[in-house]
Chains A and B, each alone.
Chain A
Amino acid sequence: MNAILFSAVWGVVMMFCGAFVNKAATVRNAAVTGLVLLIILNIAELYGFRLMRVDTHGMLAFNSFTLVFNTVAFVSTLVYFFLSAKDMERVGVNLAEYFALIFFVLSGVAISSSFNSLMMLFLGIEIISIPLYILTGSDKKNLNSNEASLKYFLMGSFSTGIMLMGIALIYGATGTFSLERMTTVLSPGLNPLLIAGFLLLVISMSFKVSAAPFHFWTPDVYDGAPTVFTSFMATIVKVAAFAAFLRLFTGTNVEVPAQIKIIIALITAATLFIGNITAVFQQSVKRMLAYSSIAQAGFMCFALFGFNDFAKEGLLLYSAAYSLATIGVFAVLIKMKDFTFEGFNGLASYQPLLAATNTIFLLSLAGIPLTAGFMAKFYMLASAIKSGAYMWLIILAVLCAAVSVYYYFRVIQAMYFRESKEPQALSVSPAFKWGLIVIAAAVVFLGLFPQWLFAKLYF
Chain B
Amino acid sequence: MIPVLLILIPLITGLALFATGAGRARTGSLVSSILTLVVSIAGLTVFKAVRYLKYDGSWMTSIGSRFRVELDGMGQVLCLLTAISFPLIFVSTYKNEYKNGNRFYALMMLSQAGLMGVFLAKDALLFYFFWELALIPVYFLCSIWGGERRIPVTFKFFIYTFVGSLLMLIVIIYLYFQAGQSFSIESFYALQLPHQTQSWLFWLFFAAFAVKMPIFPFHTWQPDTYEQSPTAVTMVLSGIMVKMGVFGVIRWVVPVLPVGAYLWGDTVTTLAIIGMVYASLLAFQQNDLKRLIAYSSIAHIGLMCVAIFATTKSGMQGVMIQMFNHGINIIGLWIVVNAIEQKLGTRKLSELGGLAQQAPQLAILLVVVALANISLPLTNGFVGEFLMFNGVLSSEATHYNVWFTVIAGLTIILSAVYTLYMIQKVFYGNTNALTVSATDISLNVKVALVVIVLLILAGGIFPKPMLAITNELSDAILNRMNVKSLF
- The chain A residues found within 8 Å of chain B, CB to CB, are 313, 363, 368-370, 378, 381-382, 385-386, 394-395, 398-399, 401-402, 405-406, 409, 413, 416-418, 449-451, 454
Contact = CB atoms under 8 A, between A and B. Distances in A.
B1 interface: no
Contacts of B144: 416-417
B282 interface: no
B400 interface: no
Contacts of A450: 60, 62
Contact of B166 (A401, A409, A417, A418): A401
B143 A451 contact: no
A369 B126 CA distance: 10
B173 A382 contact: yes
Given A369-B133, A385-B174, A450-B60, A417 B143 contact: yes
A399 B169 CA distance: 12
29 contacts: A313-B62, A363-B136, A369-B129, A370-B133, A378-B169, A378-B173, A381-B170, A382-B63, A382-B176, A385-B173, A386-B177, A394-B170, A395-B167, A395-B170, A398-B163, A398-B166, A398-B169, A399-B163, A399-B166, A401-B166, A402-B159, A402-B166, A405-B158, A405-B162, A413-B151, A417-B143, A417-B151, A449-B60, A451-B60
A418 B170 CA distance: 34
A385 B143 CA distance: 35
B45 interface: no
A399 B163 CA distance: 7
Contacts of A413: 143, 151, 155
B264 interface: no
A416 B62 contact: no
Rank and list the top 3 A-B pairs by shortest CB-CB distance, nearest first. A451-B62, A398-B166, A369-B132
B167 A416 contact: no
B136 A368 contact: yes
A454 B173 CA distance: 20
Contacts of A409: 155, 158
Given A382-B176, A450-B62, A398 B133 contact: no
Nearest to B167: A398
Contact of A368 (B132, B151, B170, B176): B132
B485 interface: no
Contacts of A313: 62
A106 to B, nearest CB: 28
B143 A416 contact: yes
A450 B60 CA distance: 7
A385 B174 CA distance: 6
Nearest to B126: A369
B47 interface: no
A369 B129 CA distance: 6
Contacts of A398: 163, 166-167, 169-170
A171 B248 CA distance: 56
A399 B177 CA distance: 22
Interface in B61-91: 61-63
B294 to A, nearest CB: 22
B284 interface: no
Given A378-B169, A451-B61, 5 more contacts: A385-B170, A402-B162, A405-B159, A406-B155, A417-B150
A371 B119 CA distance: 22
Nearest to A388: B177
Nearest to A349: B100
Interface in B122-164: 128-129, 132-133, 136, 140, 143-144, 150-151, 155, 158-159, 162-163
B333 to A, nearest CB: 28
A75 to B, nearest CB: 20
- Output the residue of B140, B162, B167, B177 with the most chain A CB within 10 A: B162
A454 B129 contact: no
Contacts of B163: 398-399, 402
Nearest to B145: A417
B49 to A, nearest CB: 31
Interface in B32-73: 59-63
Contacts of B170: 381, 385, 394-395, 398
B162 to A, nearest CB: 5
Contacts of B173: 378, 381-382, 385
Contacts of B61: 451
Given A368-B132, A409-B155, A416-B140, A381 B169 contact: yes
Nearest to B143: A417
Interface in B101-136: 128-129, 132-133, 136
Contacts of B63: 382, 451
A363 B59 CA distance: 22
Nearest to A368: B132
Nearest to A449: B60
Contacts of B155: 406, 409, 413
A417 B139 CA distance: 11
Contacts of B158: 405, 409
Contacts of A449: 59-60
Contacts of B167: 395, 398
Nearest to B174: A385
B182 to A, nearest CB: 13
Nearest to B131: A369
B62 A454 contact: yes
Interface in B407-443: none
Contacts of B129: 369-370
Nearest to A452: B62
A441 to B, nearest CB: 13
A43 B155 CA distance: 44
Contacts of B174: 385
Contacts of B60: 449-451
Contacts of A454: 62
Contacts of A399: 163, 166
A5 to B, nearest CB: 32
A451 B125 CA distance: 15
Contacts of B150: 417
Interface string B237-272: 000000000000000000000000000000000000
Contacts of A394: 170
Contacts of A369: 128-129, 132-133
Contacts of B162: 402, 405
B113 to A, nearest CB: 12
A416 B100 CA distance: 12
B299 to A, nearest CB: 28
